[in-house]
Each structure stands twice: as structure tokens, then as C-alpha cells.
Amino acid sequence: MRIGMLTGGGDCPGLNAVIRAAVRKGIQHHGDEFVGFMEGWRGVLDNVTMPLTLETTSGILQRGGTILRSSRTNVKKVEGGLERCVATLKTNGIDALIALGGDDTQSISVELAKMGVKCVGVPKTIDNDLSGTDVCFGFDTAVSIATEAVDRLHSTAESHSRVMVCEVMGRNAGWIAVTSGIAGGADVILVPEVPIDIEDVCRLIQYRYDHGKRFAIVVVAEGATLPETEQTAVGSKLDAFGHVRLSGIGQELAEEIEKRTGYETRSVNLGHTQRGGTPTAYDRMLATRYGVAAIDLVHAGRFGRLVVLRGTEITDVPLEEAIAKTRTIGEDLLAVVRGLQPLKG
């Protein structure tokens, strides 16, 4: 078969590992040929490609980013965009298309599938917010980076008797915040799923100081909000999928904490460091399993589906199911966070 591949949306560690695994299994076991479309859906729209061979995909397992580059191109917003994509796939003789991406990228696959394109999806996002799968590749690496940052903040916070607020990514889901916060032993963990109770934040910090500590660590998700307020963003410009650029709640919070407690408070925003660099062993493994599973799905003729991890098994679900809603954190993890904190009152 002749198979197209693309990586769309925000990049994340492990994209290259998926590409490598799919290409190796496809070429070596099925005699497939691969065409890589550059910069996500933009490459399909404008027919910009690179050959994906055993040679061009060699040595990329541990490389961060994506050799296919990425973009947030929304072909649904381009007049005749979907039709142009179908035409490009035809021109390149593509029998099936594997799209690596989150909900925005997969929403285009869903539209193309309706037009007869044989699509298979692979769940990518550090946000870990795709429904249908327990884990997206890239998440583990982002959490490792954030946890290391929280660890490092402990010593400098202690030296200077400061409160340190660490802002992490995750869009509207608190997976990175809650996981790195628990793993890093943060005193306060704030997520988009629960509005920030600033009085409670200060109570938790004060409790720590009352019990002999002279510093505290707060982890806040970029999408967390104070009650009755909008998410904090840089400017009001929306990307092609209608998202604002979330950033800044950490600094806002730091100012408020300092004002209310009198303790010197600083903020650090980890930003894109969470998406950069080499994937963890866990992400290399998961990405490789996803890549092999994606090619197997293509050869089983099971299209319009996303490869997913359920428990320890790789399986697949309809693409529509994966994008139906954002998978946010549940009460079980929030209970762990609360369980580590002193009771109110």
C-alpha cells in the first residue's frame, strides 16, 4: 500500500518514534511505501511532501519534535480545503492516511473519512486529554520535565524563603499539573477542573509556615481560573481552531498570594520546555506500540479509528469517540490531592 503520514497540532516528544515504528513495520512486513506530508494538514492542502523510507526515518527514535514538522492548519476554515486535501491524496496515490495528532487534528480526519479517505489516527498530546485512550504519548515526557522543575524549585524556594508558583501546560485539562504536582510534592495543586479558591491556597501556604517550613510550592495549570473569571491568555488572538494562547495565571496568582500572605512569591512558567527534547523511555515504548498498531489497523482495513491504550492493552476506538469531549481529570485524582493536604477548619 501507499500510505501517507502527517503530524498536526502542537508537537510533542515521541512523534518521531511513531513515524519510525510505522514505517519499519510497513516497509519490512508489508512492502508498503510511505509519503510524509509536511507541517500537518498544511502539507496535504498544498501538496508538500517528503519520502519516508527506512533511511529517512533512521536514528530518529530518541529525537524530540517531528521530522515532518507541524502546524495548526485547519483545512475546514479554508475554502474548498477538504476537497483540496482529497485531491492531493489522489495525486500522490495514497491508499490510507495516518494522522498523528490531538482532537483538532483528528477532527479533520473525521471530515475526510466522511469523504471516503481511509484514515487511522494516533493520539498525540502532552495534555493527555483525548477521550478513548488512557494515555497519549508525549504526556509522560512533559510530566517528567515538569516534575524535575518542581524538584528544582524546592531548593531555591527554601534558600530564599519564598513561595514559588510553577505554571504548567495542559489547556483545559489538569493532567500535567496534578501528576507533576503530586510527583513533585507540591503543597498546592490547581487545575482547570476546579475554580481556584484563593483563600484556601493561602490557608495551605500559611499552614506550612505555621508548621516550621519557610517556603511553599504551588503548581498551577495554565487553564486554571479564579472564580467568575476568564482563563488568562496572551492577547485575544485565536488560533485556527479557535483557541486562545493560555499563559499568565501563574504570575497573577503569585501576585495575589504575596499580597494576601506577605510572603515573597515568584512565578515560573515552564511553557514549551514541556514539549521539547527527547522522549522518556515510557513515551518511546508507547509511541512505538502505537506506530506498529496503526499500520496493523491499516492492513486490517479498519479505518476511521484511533489506536488507543486501555489499561495495558493497545486497541482502537472510532475517531468520533476520541474527539467527542475533552478528557479531564476525575474525582479520584482530586481526592489524592486533597488527601495529602490538611483538612479545612
The stretch near ligand F6P (CB under 6 A) out of 59-67, 88-96, 166-174, 211-219 is: 166-174
- Alpha carbon separation from 330 to 107, 126, 252 (Å, rounded): 24, 17, 26
Question: Strand locations in 169-285, DSSP E?
Answer: 188-190, 216-221, 265-269
127 is catalytic: yes
Size of the residue set binding ligand F6P (CB under 6 A): 12
Check binding of 246 to ligand F6P (CB under 6 A).
yes
Distance CA 122, CA 106 (A): 9
Rounded CA-CA distance 240/76 in Å is 9
Write down the residue that cell numbers 489506536 correspond to. Answer: 307
Is residue 127 involved in binding ligand F6P (CB under 6 A)? yes
Query: Using the rule CB under 6 A, is 126 a contact of ligand F6P?
Result: yes
Q: Which of 156, 75, 134, 139 is nearest to 109 (CA)?
A: 75
Instruction: Closer to ligand F6P by CB, 25 or 275: give it.
Output: 275
275 binds ligand F6P (CB under 6 A): yes
- Given candidates 169, 202, 287, 314, which one binds ligand F6P under the rule CB under 6 A? 169
With b for 16 or more beta-carbon neighbours within 10 A and e for fewer, the 118-136 pattern comes to bbbbbbbbbbbbbbbbebb
We find the least distance from the C-beta atom of residue 265 to ligand F6P, in angstroms, to be 23
Quick check: 166 and 176 in contact, CB under 8 A? Answer: no
Start-to-end CA span in the chain (Å): 65
Cβ nearer to ligand F6P, comparing 12 with 112: 12
Restricting to residues 205-224, name those near ligand F6P by CB under 6 A. Answer: 222
The CB-nearest residue to ligand F6P is 169
Among 125, 141, 144, 267, binds ligand F6P (CB under 6 A): 125
Binding residues for ligand F6P (CB under 6 A): 10, 102, 125-127, 169-171, 222, 245-246, 275
Catalytic residues: 127
